[in-house]
Amino acid sequence: MIDQLTEKDIDVFASDVEKGLSAKPKYLSSKYFYDSTGDDLFREIMKLPEYYLTKCEYEILTTNRQKILGIIKPKDQEFDLIEFGAGDGFKTKVLLKYFLAKEVDFKYMPIDISENALEILRSGLIKTLPDLKYKPLQGEYFSALESLNKIDSCNKVILFLGSNIGNFSWTEANGFLSRLSDLLNNGDKVIIGFDLKKDPEVIRKAYDDSSGVTRAFNLNLLTRINNELDGNFDLTNFKHYATYNPQSGEARSFLVSKKKQDVRIGKLDRSFHFDLWESIYMEVSQKYDVETINELAIGNGFRVLDNLFDCKHYFVNSVWEKE
């Protein structure tokens, strides 16, 4: 299934692209990675030997599913299990299957900006978990949560897995968590996946795999611009470049122009100039330590109930409660 973009969606996409390519230095928003092709490529990335994040988080959820249920389940009450950026639900199904086996009273509500991702998830859940109470919500996280709050008063458990919090700067992460806190009631829970600081080479390789899937994932955003905004990017004129700074904990991805060139975008009725080796900043993936995670929680109205680690301590699922 291909995402059906409205004219408003396309206008917003065009506006964001114009803003990013007009900036100095240039950038593009990583939220536009996820069309149907981007979804497929990211599923490939999660299977790569270099991409440890998915494997580590899967281990955490599998090993700690009983403990997680004991922490998050309100006594004798239904709750909403709301997932931000659900994707295909590969890791989440570990919890869903366990909760159903334990006859827990809950509704699963995945929220994703990608209609294609939600359709893939729905198809899979119908086959594997037909008894699951399931209500998908397509759109931005907070607008969907605000709408839900108006019609549903159940206790809430928010899942924000996969180190998606790492796509924010420190300021953005605090803003995100502050807004989330404002939308939750006291006693609501949050489970957030954080990628931890570790051997810099292990981190860098996770974003620059030997088979080139991450390269294709980044370049696909240029293809989206070509297809949806009438652009004329020549993908062979750009190379993917990934870095990791062990002091700041930032893994960054860029597309770098291999020649002096001009790229026209018909929807915007203008061209953008690239100098030789000029870069487009594509994405950040912030790595954390436990002390900083605790600061984020406390500073935004949460208390940390538990930190659950994989066997290598590469990753942590931090369980918080709104105070």
Q: pLDDT for 152-166, tens place per residue?
A: 778 999 999 999 999
Cis amide prior to 25 (ω within 30 degrees): yes
* pLDDT band of 27, cuts 50, 70, 90: very high
Where, residue-wise, is CATH 3.40.50.150 in the chain? 52-196+288-322
pLDDT score, position 140: 86
Beta strand 26-27 with 279-286 is parallel
pLDDT score, position 3: 52
Buried b (16+ CB within 10 A) or exposed e, 82-105: bbbbbbbbbbbbbbbebbeeeebe
Using DSSP's 3-state secondary structure scheme, residue 190 falls into strand
For 113-129, the pLDDT digits (tens) are: 777 778 888 888 999 99
Angle at 319 between CA 316 and CA 323, to 5 degrees: 145
Q: How far apart are CA 66 and CA 56, in angstroms?
A: 17
Find, among 286, 282, 250, the residue nearest to 20 by Cα. Answer: 282
What region does 193 belong to: left with phi over 0, alpha with psi -120 to 50, or beta?
beta
pLDDT score, position 1: 36
Burial class (CB in 10 A: 0-12, 13-18, 19+), 224: buried
The dihedral formed by the CA atoms of 10, 15, 21 and 27, expressed in degrees to the nearest 10: -80
Element spanning 176, H or E = helix 170-183
- The overall average pLDDT reported for the chain is 93
pLDDT score, position 75: 78
Q: Is the pLDDT of residue 2 over 70?
A: no
Percent of the chain at pLDDT exceeding 90:
80
pLDDT score, position 5: 67
Q: What are phi and psi of 272, to 5 degrees?
A: -125, 130
pLDDT score, position 36: 87
Average pLDDT over residues 250-266: 98
Q: Give first-to-last CA distance, the chain, whole Å.
A: 41
CATH class, domain 52-196+288-322, is alpha beta
